[in-house]
Amino acid sequence: MAVLATMSPEQARARKLRRERRNRSVRHAILLLWIGFIMFPIFWMVSTSFKDSGEWVAWPPHWLPHAPTLHNYAQIFAFAKIDTSLSRQAAEQAFSIWKALGDATLVCATAALLALLLGTFLAYSISRFNVGGRYFRHTILTIRMIPPIVVAISILIYYAVLIPFASTAVFGVRISLFDTYVGLILIYTVTTLPFVIWMMLTFIDEVPYTLEHAARLMGAGRITVIRRVVLPLVASGMVVTFLFVFILNWAEFLLALTLTHPEVTTLTVLLNKFQSASEGRLYGPQAAIGTMITIPVVILGMLIQKHLVKGFSFGTIRK
Amino acid sequence: MARILIKDLVKTFGAYAAVNGISLDISDGEFLILVGPSGCGKTTTLNMISGLETPTSGQIVIGNTVVNDLEPGERGLGMVFQDLALFPHMTVFENIAFGLRVKKIPDREVHERVTAAAAAVHIVPLLDKLPRHCSGGESQRVALARTIVTNPSVFLMDEPLSSLDAKLRVDMRTELKALHKRLSATFVYVTHDQAEAMTMADRIVVMSRGRIEQVGTPLQIYNRPASRFVAGFFGTPTMNFVEGTVELNGSGRHFRAPGLEQPLSDAVPAELAGRTVVLGVRSEHVLVGDGAALKGTVQLTEPLDDVTLVHFDYGQAVLLVAKAGPTTPLQPGSALSFRFATDYCHLFDADGTRLY
């Protein structure tokens, strides 16, 4: 009190400024530490992707490659037989990334597209007709509370045993979803559908009812109303949702590992296969693939980050 | 042509009856206004006429067709919504053209009709703009043009002027009235603004709690309100209400309340004598001036442009309002004498029904 009383307004203001500056510095220091903690594995991965095999597990660690090389990238992007100078006796394990890249793109994009189509219409019906009851929209996401490992084995049994058995018994044809594009696409569609519904709900809820009423009064049927009024207004939301779901699929590992082998291989599964009998894990090529998988995710993430906040806030910060 | 008949219309949402058995006969070319406070069922009624809500029971006939089972688009109606409902992703032209495009009308005709409709409400220069680049009044006109373009025989309007500022609202009232005259179509208009209802309507339907309180011309509604609710809803300021009893004595009929005695018209039925009633009198029928028998004290004055509202008490807890001239010398605290114009006293019973 006495101090305050003897301080001029200028001094008080200067004191307040100093305090604010100090608080800000502390806050930033904590955030920087946290970023360092989060980013270190990614830094290590990128750094390793440019190291030659001798440097992968060197001790003391080489933070940056002493002799930077593109061998790892050359190895994963190789179209043909790997040159022995690159292979370091691991030529037969030097998988090319191209097949997995194709598989992953096909599976992830198709599944995301399917989930988007189904999810958009489901979200529309939930938003407009309260399908599933009042609380359905809040319970949709609970399906994501089940860890994939819990269902992975049961689905494997369905895919590899029960469905083939049943189809043989009933139709006389053996249909197996194990290690097929269809099988993986189906499971990805199902697991990401809740996210699509949840995100599209927030976008569709923002389209005023009266727009649809107006269109219907002018003679438009339900389908025309959805096609010409609702969908154009949520188009940007659909793009965001598609990208988000695509990223989810792109990074999925466990289900792909369990439900495929050896035909269908996604990038995350391929990553796990980089081992050689003589050298153990091939950290360099693994790091190179890891880097390549990460790049599109980072780019897409930056593109949709603004919309993601909107989607994830569950409509609570609606205008 | 476009006469609308509504028979025993009911709409319930769960246990709540939004519209509770209303019947109406709207003649061809009439400008009918549904008015009432929020939640009185006026918009629900309009939505049932439009087909956006399905009646729980009752019948709606437009022209000679029972439309209960017709889709909204098949009823030949045009509707202007409270929020206007312009499609934000389409230009003004496409907004107006939407109804024609849905009906697959050839491009050349679409172009002609859209331009004509836009010209009718003076918005031709806006045709290439998006709705978000239009002002409130312009958007209003776009919504009107979009309704006109399909030549409906019935126009439904759900508080279309509520988003406009006061001055624009008054201008649009005049324009709507002119439009109604020009199109000679049936207008059914919903509002909670009694001034809109009084100025535009051929007939007013006053609704309260899902029921019709009164149907009549604006003057009938104002001069002979069918219930205390209607009497209180119309008129600014609100009608004065005083509870008391009717008495019959040698000099005629009288209304007596604590601190107040007022002669009544001889037309007041004699059998009301001794009954507890509510007397209603509008502020312009509270006559303030010398020679009046009743005394009061001014509490508050509100100068408006052409009148001054004088709020005063007469020794009781009830405040009364009178309209005085703009140059009245009355100030808060000054004493006044007053009486009610005998022929303009309304009597209601305790549940609000009109007695006289």
User: For residue A301, what pLDDT is reported?
Assistant: 82
The per-residue pLDDT for range A55-85, each reduced to its tens digit, is 888 888 888 999 898 888 888 887 655 444 4
pLDDT at A54: 83
Q: Which of A213, A224, A229 sits opposite B81 (nearest CB)?
A: A213
Give the mean model confidence (pLDDT) for residues B315-323.
Answer: 88
Q: Which residues of chain A are within 8 Å of residue B188 when distances are taken between CB atoms?
A: none
Q: How far, in Å, CA of A283 to CA of B215, rounded?
A: 86
Cα separation of B354 and B351, whole Å?
9
Percent of chain B with pLDDT strictly greater than 90: 67
What pLDDT is attached to residue A32? Answer: 96
Q: Is B312 helix (H, G, I), strand (E, B) or coil?
A: strand
ipTM of the modeled complex: 0.82
- Which residues on B lie below 8 Å from A216 (Cβ)? 51-52, 71-73
Q: For residue A275, what pLDDT is reported? A: 72
| Contact across the interface for A208 and B83, Cβ inside 8 Å | yes
Confidence label for B211 from pLDDT (cuts 50, 70 and 90) = very high
**A36, pLDDT greater than 90:** yes
Phi-psi region at B130: left, alpha or beta (left = phi > 0; alpha = psi -120 to 50) = beta
Beta partners for residue A59, in sequence order: none
Lowest mean pLDDT among A300-309, B13-22, B99-108, B136-145: A300-309
Residue of A nearest to B49 (CA): A217
- Say which residues have a Cβ less than 8 Å from residue B309's Cβ, sequence separation at least 6: B237, B283, B301, B302, B303, B321, B322, B323, B324
The domain defined by A97-311 folds into: MetI-like fold (1.10.3720)
Q: What are the residue ranges spanned by the domains of chain A?
A: 2-76, 97-311
Query: How many alpha carbons fall within 13 Å on the CB side of residue B127?
Result: 17
Identify the residue with better confidence: B259 or B206: B206
Residue A88, pLDDT score: 46
Q: Average the pLDDT over B43-57 and give the result.
A: 94
So what's the pLDDT on residue A94? 52
Range from A119-128, A297-306, B264-273, B318-327 that averages highest in pLDDT: A119-128
* Chain A residues close to B79, C-beta within 8 Å: 213-214, 217
**Closest Cβ–Cβ partner in A217, A221, A233 for B88:** A233
Among A12-16, A17-21, B269-273, which stretch is predicted with the lowest mean pLDDT? B269-273
Q: How confident is the model at residue A5 (pLDDT cuts 50, 70, 90)?
A: low
Is the sign of the CA dihedral A47, A48, A49, A51 positive or negative? positive
Mean predicted confidence (pLDDT) in B266-273: 87
Which of A130, A218, A229 has the most B C-beta neighbours within 10 Å, making it the best mutation to test the interface with B? A218
Question: Which pLDDT score is estimated for A316?
Answer: 40
pLDDT of residue A317: 37
Q: At a CB cut-off of 8 Å and minimum separation 6, what does A188 contact?
A: A107, A108, A111, A112, A115, A249, A252, A255
Across chain B, mean pLDDT equals 91
Question: Averaged over B73-93, what is the pLDDT?
Answer: 92
Q: Which two tokens stand for residue A76?
A: 């994963």
- Please compute the mean of the pLDDT values over residues A217-239 and round it to a whole number: 91
Residues of B in contact with A232 (CB under 8 A): 89
